[in-house]
């Protein structure tokens, strides 16, 4: 799953659906829509939004994600909002009195990803800003999901919670690939021959300036200098710049 | 690294520092502080906040993370804000004209985690809301970091960017539990202040040698030199070696 997998509404049939249950502030609905689209998700459902629907503040705060707002589906109850889904996660910090383990979002994601590959219809419930989900909402969940945060400061804005879950859902594959084979980026680089030329010029200039006070230490100093310049991943242009600097400094006075 | 690793200010000496460069809205500073503390990070620096400091809106919007706000350090320039740091990342969507690769935050995190274990002082720059970081800010960065988002809808609120980076930094270990990976090597590195000293000495020497034939091009040449030296990941010893070289070459004859 990547941001490319989920992109436009017409391709989005199998996307996990973000379901905001009794959201209070239109601003937060808009910010959640923006966060979803940042991660390439676009399917939003609302259950009994406090201030009705449509909501001007949601549109204003969606910062260009109005498409997500326009396509949002509104339901009166959680039961209706999840009726056509196959797998429902509830996001919560508590285990409630329901006998379900609480998984971290990272632990939940591989399962959601696998379910997505099987074209399962998946929804993720987020509770109201102040109170979170209630037991009556939780009962529709197959599983509970929590975002593992600082235990002494867990309180997260609704849109921030949607952002983190959306990001982790859509980037999990990437995060696992990174560890296995992060591909080094390659800059345009000077040839070793060009670097040799630079090092020879530097050695000559340093010899003439009396830099090497100990003949014994000279080879290791040159080796370290060479290593330092090698680490710079110099381009041909960089090599010319350094050659110019050495020449200018050496010709001084 | 886990949220337990970073928790209270007194334990936080080696925590990565979040640096907001010329932030505009107090609300966003507060929301960023809250997002940091959600992830167990508490060290915040501000460079030239637009509306001055302290800022009532920042406090109001920190939602209980006032400790982070109260301990925020304010600087006039990026140079001062990074002076005591050893590794600086700049968050940006663009590669600018500086010859540094842009890593995804996931690619960057294992290196930051390794550097953290070595007690390196690490900072992460975030630019102003509207414009992001400029080339003059970027030149202090060893590396560039980007959050890989929906390519057609990348615009992210400042606090949301801080949240994602903070979360991924502090939860990377957890995300990588499935995959074994080698630990990136971290070299002992000089402070930015030491590098500043080297750059000043080089500029003076180049001025005196007549290296800068065009006053107009001097700033961009210095910026590129700074970037090249930053890429070298110099140790304190390396800095001393280069200072010795410049001195020796300049005093020649």
Predicted pLDDT of residue A118: 79
Cβ proximity of A50 and A22 under 8 Å: yes
d(CA A137, CA A125): 9
| CB–CB contact A228 B244 (8 Å) | no
pLDDT at B234 over 70: yes
pLDDT at B185 over 60: no
- Please, which residues bridge with residue B83 across strands? none
Residue B182 sits at the chain A interface (C-beta within 8 Å): no
CA pseudo-torsion sign B220, B225, B226, B232: positive
Query: In a 10 Å sphere around its CB, with 0-12 CB exposed, 13-18 middle and 19+ buried, how is residue B207 labelled?
Result: exposed
Per-residue pLDDT band for A243 (boundaries 50, 70, 90) equals: very high
Give me the pLDDT at residue A154, please. 86
pLDDT at B4: 42
B192: confidence class by pLDDT, cuts 50, 70, 90? confident
Q: How many CA atoms lie within 13 A of B95 on its CB side?
A: 10
Looking at the DSSP assignment, which residues form a beta bridge with residue A19?
A45, A125
Rounded mean pLDDT, B235-241: 87
Query: What is the SS3 assignment for B172?
Result: helix
Confidence bin at B24 (pLDDT 50/70/90): very high
Distance CA B29, CA B159 (A): 7
The pLDDT of residue A187 is 52
Interface test with B, best of A6, A28, A105, A182 (most B CBs within 10 A): A182
What's the pLDDT at A85?
85
pLDDT, tens digit, for every residue of A6-18?
A: 444 444 457 899 9
Give the Cα separation of A38 and B155 in Å (integer): 7
* Residue A106 contacts B, CB cutoff 8 Å: yes
pLDDT of residue A13: 57
| Residue pLDDT, tens place only, B142-165 | 889 999 998 888 888 999 999 999
Using DSSP, state whether B95 is helix, strand or coil: coil
The span from the CA of A160 to the CA of B61, in Å, is: 14
**Does B173 contact A at CB distance below 8 Å?**
no
* Alpha-carbon gap, residue B136 to A238, rounded angstroms: 19
- pLDDT for B56: 96
CB–CB contact A179 B181 (8 Å): yes
Instruction: Compare A181 and B69 and report the one with higher pLDDT.
Output: B69
Search chain B and give the residue with CA nearest A156. Answer: B38
Which of A217-221, B3-7, B63-67 has the least mean pLDDT?
Answer: B3-7
Q: What is the pLDDT of residue A183?
A: 37
Residue B186's pLDDT is 60
- What is the percentage of chain B residues whose pLDDT exceeds 70? 85
B218: contact with A, CB 8 A cutoff = no
Bond prior to B31 in cis (omega within 30° of 0): no
Higher pLDDT, B235 or A160: A160
Q: How many CB pairs under 8 A join A and B?
A: 176
What are the residue ranges of helices labelled H in A96-214? 105-117, 135-138, 158-181, 192-209
Residue B10 is predicted with a pLDDT of 39
CA-nearest of B194, B181, B205 to B235 is: B194
More confident residue, B29 or A116: B29
| Amino acid B86: pLDDT | 87
CA–CA gap between residue B140 and residue B122 (Å, rounded) = 12
Question: What is the average pLDDT across B16-42?
Answer: 96
Q: Is the pLDDT of residue A228 over 80?
A: no
**Burial class for B125, CB neighbours closer than 10 Å (0-12, 13-18, 19+):** buried
**Tens-digit pLDDT profile for residues A121-158:** 899 999 999 899 988 888 888 888 999 998 888 888 99
At residue B100, the pLDDT reads 73
Mean pLDDT computed over A30-46: 96
Tens digit of each residue's pLDDT (9 = 90 or more) over A70-98? 999 999 999 899 988 888 899 987 766 66
Question: For residue range A176-222, what is the model confidence (pLDDT) as tens digits?
Answer: 544 444 433 445 567 778 888 999 999 999 999 888 888 898 988 88
- A109-128 per-position pLDDT tens digit: 888 888 887 788 899 999 99
Find, in chain A, the residue whose alpha carbon is nearest to that of B246: A249
ipTM of the complex: 0.76
A9-13, A25-29, A53-57, A65-69: lowest mean pLDDT where? A9-13
Which chain B residues touch A238 with a CB distance below 8 Å? 99, 228
What is the dihedral sign for C-alpha A96, A102, A108, A114?
Answer: negative
């Amino acid at each position: 799953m990547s941001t490319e997998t989920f992109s436009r509404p017409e391709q989005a049939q199998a996307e996990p659906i973000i379901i905001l249950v009794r959201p209070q502030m239109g601003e937060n609905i808009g910010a959640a829509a923006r966060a979803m689209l940042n991660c390439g998700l676009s399917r939003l459902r609302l259950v009994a939004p406090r201030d009705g629907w449509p909501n001007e503040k949601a549109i204003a705060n969606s910062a260009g994600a109005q498409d997500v707002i326009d396509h949002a589906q509104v339901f009166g109850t959680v039961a209706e909002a999840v009726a056509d889904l196959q797998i429902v996660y509830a996001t919560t910090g508590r285990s409630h009195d329901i006998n379900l383990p609480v998984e971290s979002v990272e632990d939940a994601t591989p399962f959601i990803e696998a379910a997505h590959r099987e074209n399962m219809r998946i929804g993720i419930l987020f509770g109201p800003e102040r109170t979170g989900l209630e037991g009556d909402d939780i009962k529709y969940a197959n599983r509970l999901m929590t975002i593992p945060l600082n235990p002494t400061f867990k309180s997260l804005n609704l849109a921030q919670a949607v952002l983190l879950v959306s990001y982790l859902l859509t980037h999990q594959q990437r995060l696992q690939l990174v560890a296995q084979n992060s591909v080094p980026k390659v800059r345009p680089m000077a040839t070793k021959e060009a670097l040799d030329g630079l090092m020879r010029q530097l050695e000559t200039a340093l010899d003439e300036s009396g830099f090497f006070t100990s003949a014994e230490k000279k080879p290791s100093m040159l080796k370290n200098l060479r290593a330092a310049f090698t680490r710079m991943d110099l381009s041909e242009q960089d090599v010319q710049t350094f050659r110019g600097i050495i020449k200018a400094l050496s010709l001084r006075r």
